[in-house]
Structure 1
Amino acid sequence: MQLLIILLVGFITIVHGVHFRGGTITWRPLNNTPSGSTAAVQVRERWSWNRITYPCTDATIASYGTLASNTYTYVQCYTGSCGSWTNMDIATNCTDYSAALIVSSGEHYETKTIPLNISFSVGFVSGNWLTNLVIGGNNQGWSVVCRINTNLRPDGYINSSPIAVSLPIVYKQVYIPQVHVVQMSDFDGTDILRCRWATSSGNINGADECDGVCNGIPGASLIYNNCTLVFTLTNPGVYAAAALQIEDYYSSSSTTPMSSVPIQFLFYGYAAPTASCTTPPAIIGNLPNRACIGTPVGSNVTQYIIVQVYCPGHAITD
């Protein structure tokens, strides 16, 4: 699918600078069976941006156009055994966008040759987050950090990092308790996954994982085992940044994660509707909301999403 589907009812387009809208870094070995002294590791980066700064359209996607090219900024190594890491350009191929949310998103993959039995942390550290944040506004910087670890697992294989997914911007009504689940998965199907808040220090990465948006959702709590955020937004028209780390453990008794990957995204607080429509739309049909759909790499996919609107005279904007 080319368009990022966002369900909005009765909202207007809202413009806010500056340009960063969050992202993630993940990794996996191309072959998890160790052979020799190195491993080919595929590193994936995904970033979301202000669409005014980095435009994306259907034509951009069809032509494999890039976002944030020629910025001379990179995913760099910050702690650990950095000798084998070469900087990874943050320019990505645009994969999806939302005109209503003014956001463009893209992904980029690189295969790195990394020695076995080392670990290190890489990150995209720069500025500026958008200005209209309840915590971390005023053009403060970002830090998105990932732990790569090629030490062999207890079962003798090379580990793969977890993956977490989210829309770059999620709309939530203010003054109502919200429960939001971040989906986690792992190529190593038996791993125990947990998520935690990103922190500025004292973490497995040995680095600042969140910079200006640490504790970016006031009063929020986090259920670590299933990555569920519980919070109430109290600032209409203002964004709150969620900065999380997803970590995989070999077993429920393990105390040290095998890897740690970031996911950072935004909540936007909107005021309660003043008109007659107070019931939000719902995704209906064969697939439930948050369904995970697998597809072969490089294939074209057509997926139908059926949405029910419960208020006469109201429509859906994607």
Structure 2
Amino acid sequence: MIYVLAIACQCFIIIESIHFNGGTIRWEPVDPQTNSSTVVISIIQSYSWSYPTIKCANDVPITTSGRSSANTNLTCVADCSTDGGYSVNPVNILTDCVSASSSLGMMTSERSVNATLLAGAHFYISYRGSAWRAVDSPQQNNLYWSVVCFIDLRLRPDGIINTPPEANVVSPQYAIVNRTTQIQIPVSDVNAGDDLRCRWSVYVPGHRRRRQSNVNENLYDQSAHHMYRKIRADGEIPHIRKKRSCSSACDFLCFCSSTPCLSAPTCMLSICFNAQGCRIVTAPTTAQNTTTLETPGTLPITSSYPIRQPIDECGGICYPNTVPNSTTLSNCTLTFTGLIPNTWYAVSIQVEDFIDSTSMTPMSSVPVQFLIYVMPTPDCSITPIIIPLNGCLEVTAGVMKSFNIFVINKCNPFLSNVSDIVVSAGITGMEVIQRHHQPLVLHPPRQPRAPQQLQQPLLLKHQHRLRLLQLRRHPPQLRHQQLQLRQQRRQHQARQLPP
């Protein structure tokens, strides 16, 4: 599927100042067949933001006034010893605006950046920030986000580098109160035959190796004929070590990525190897004028583990904490029922691909995080019709392709109307020429010659048409039908006039 369309009926929605609406991070090899010692991959980030809180421009979000310091990197969070050199030159989180909607109060952004890594690299990268808008009921505030993507350049069983699945959900999604809504997570994979699965994002704790010892290792024989009584359940027990205080100081063997060590210039490698600890230097602070009233939340301090770091896939919105109790996920379809109107919920899902349906080892993991807003019951809740009905358009590389998209509002336009169309993910070379709203009323002829001649006029009768792309002329047959209909309508109006 080339892109996703989001249609919403007009309603009054309160847009808060919190700016992040979710997103996804994925990657793909430039050449899956390469056998070089280095592999070039593209890391693609797609995010949704509150608009106009965040400006529609390049280098989102730092181009918004007051957010010049909001840039950060996609950080390696686990298996960093096999990151193939990623941590030396990490990718930042800046993206470029794709589309914006004032009526929906949202903006989408995307960017693809190439990175060269050693062959066989496998590691986890994360975008962490704070905070989500208030979600759930009762409200939970200042929840942080953690969007984690698993990169694995090891060869698949079929001898090529894997290409992860693609999944993109427009955020926010809208649901009507007291009505069960099914939200389909659109997923696709270029590797034919891969088994795609969706699961809830989780928090995987880190771990450290503990030294094992025998409980009687310090007991000695008194003589060759006399020994201390052995404990009946003679086995190994762990030595519990006191955790290093890396949350308040950059001590010996603390990770340089911990919060205190970030202010220690002498902590230059991955771990502080100074036996006296790495000295923390406090930089002078300067006041900065901002034009936003939003106060960023504080990210929680994470513990460091010498063997494997924790993998936090969902931050503060792990299932089932920020969705109604009846929410389920099956076959990449989210079933959701909101019982309280004007309430926000947050969802975090991982999309994974497997070599076949029997495999239990994912080859990649792509995050999908989005918001759901529960609306009051609208005056009309009939879903609009999108034409063409098929969700996939085939194109040929290097050949110009033009097409139209029509949206038909099935509600009374004085009660409810199509608000906007949102392009959730950009395509290189695609340009939206024109969007406009045009009412169209067609009266079919009294005696049609063929049934198929009435099919399209009947679909559009008493409906409203929203044209997204106007790049191609109408086919001659359809044009001829329209001229006939116009002529018959004029004749009908002429007969209605008084003599």
Taking structure 2 as the reference length, what is the TM-score of the superposition?
0.57
1:244/1:264 contact within 8 Å kept: yes
The equivalent residue for 1:187 is 190
CA distance in 1 between partners of 2:173 and 2:142 (Å): 21
Tell me the secondary structure at the aligned position of residue 7 of structure 2: coil
The equivalent residue for 2:351 is 246
1:77/1:122 contact within 8 Å kept: yes
The equivalent residue for 2:369 is 264
What is the letter of the counterpart of residue 172 of structure 2? I
The equivalent residue for 1:141 is 144
Tell me the secondary structure at the aligned position of residue 78 of structure 1: strand
Q: CA deviation at 1:302?
A: 5.2
Q: CA deviation at 1:151?
A: 0.6
Task: Pick which of 13-22 and 131-140 moved more.
Answer: 131-140
Question: Is structure 2 residue 34 aligned with structure 1 residue 41?
Answer: no
What is the letter of the counterpart of residue 221 of structure 1? T
CA distance in 1 between partners of 2:357 and 2:95 (Å): 36
Q: When you count strand as a share of all residues, which structure comes out higher?
A: 1
1:5/1:98 contact within 8 Å kept: no
The equivalent residue for 1:76 is 75
> 1:79-123: CA deviations, max 9, x gaps?
112351132111111001221221111111111111122210001
Identify the match of residue 118 of structure 2 among 105, 115, 119: 115
Identify the match of residue 309 of structure 1 among 394, 407, 410: 410
Structure 1 pair 163–202 and aligned structure 2 pair: CA distance change class (3 A): farther
The equivalent residue for 1:209 is 313
Structure 1 pair 308–214 and aligned structure 2 pair: CA distance change class (3 A): same
Question: Is structure 2 residue 4 aligned with structure 1 residue 12?
Answer: no
Q: CA deviation at 1:13?
A: 3.9
* Matches for 1:273-312 after TM superposition, within 5 Å: 273=378, 277-288=379-390, 291-293=391-393, 303-311=404-412
Tell me the secondary structure at the aligned position of residue 188 of structure 1: coil
Structure 1 pair 300–134 and aligned structure 2 pair: CA distance change class (3 A): farther
CA distance in 2 between partners of 1:20 and 1:133 (Å): 16
CA distance in 1 between partners of 2:356 and 2:35 (Å): 25
Structure 1 pair 183–171 and aligned structure 2 pair: CA distance change class (3 A): same
CA distance in 2 between partners of 1:43 and 1:74 (Å): 12
Q: CA deviation at 1:9?
A: 2.5
CA distance in 2 between partners of 1:160 and 1:20 (Å): 27
Structure 1 pair 149–136 and aligned structure 2 pair: CA distance change class (3 A): farther
The equivalent residue for 1:29 is 29
2:317/2:348 contact within 8 Å kept: yes
Identify the match of residue 59 of structure 2 among 59, 62, 66: 66
Identity of aligned residues (%): 30
Structure 1 pair 205–43 and aligned structure 2 pair: CA distance change class (3 A): farther
What is the letter of the counterpart of residue 9 of structure 1? C
In angstroms, what is the RMSD of aligned CA positions? 2.6
Q: CA deviation at 1:132?
A: 4.2
CA distance in 2 between partners of 1:185 and 1:72 (Å): 30
Q: CA deviation at 1:270?
A: 0.6
CA distance in 2 between partners of 1:105 and 1:162 (Å): 20
CA distance in 1 between partners of 2:195 and 2:127 (Å): 26
CA distance in 1 between partners of 2:372 and 2:402 (Å): 28
Q: CA deviation at 1:165?
A: 1.4
CA distance in 1 between partners of 2:399 and 2:141 (Å): 40
2:60/2:109 contact within 8 Å kept: yes
Tell me the secondary structure at the aligned position of residue 316 of structure 2: helix
Structure 1 pair 55–119 and aligned structure 2 pair: CA distance change class (3 A): same
Q: CA deviation at 1:279?
A: 3.5
1:121/1:205 contact within 8 Å kept: no
The equivalent residue for 1:166 is 169
CA distance in 2 between partners of 1:18 and 1:165 (Å): 21
CA distance in 2 between partners of 1:140 and 1:294 (Å): 41
Q: Which runs of 5+ in 1 are unaligned?
A: none
CA distance in 1 between partners of 2:309 and 2:402 (Å): 37
Q: CA deviation at 1:310?
A: 2.7
2:84/2:119 contact within 8 Å kept: no
What is the letter of the counterpart of residue 66 of structure 1? D
* Matches for 1:70-109 after TM superposition, within 5 Å: 70=68, 71-80=70-79, 81-82=82-83, 84-85=85-86, 86-109=89-112
Structure 1 pair 99–297 and aligned structure 2 pair: CA distance change class (3 A): farther
Number of aligned residue pairs: 302
Structure 1 pair 209–300 and aligned structure 2 pair: CA distance change class (3 A): farther
Q: When you count helix as a share of all residues, which structure comes out higher?
A: 2
> 1:183-210: CA deviations, max 9, x gaps?
1011212210000000122699950111
What is the letter of the counterpart of residue 174 of structure 1? V
Structure 1 pair 299–103 and aligned structure 2 pair: CA distance change class (3 A): farther
1:147/1:205 contact within 8 Å kept: no
What is the letter of the counterpart of residue 202 of structure 2? T
Tell me the secondary structure at the aligned position of residue 104 of structure 2: coil
Structure 1 pair 283–66 and aligned structure 2 pair: CA distance change class (3 A): farther
Task: Pick which of 190-199 and 302-311 moved more.
Answer: 302-311
CA distance in 2 between partners of 1:48 and 1:293 (Å): 24
What is the letter of the counterpart of residue 217 of structure 1? V
Q: CA deviation at 1:5?
A: 5.2
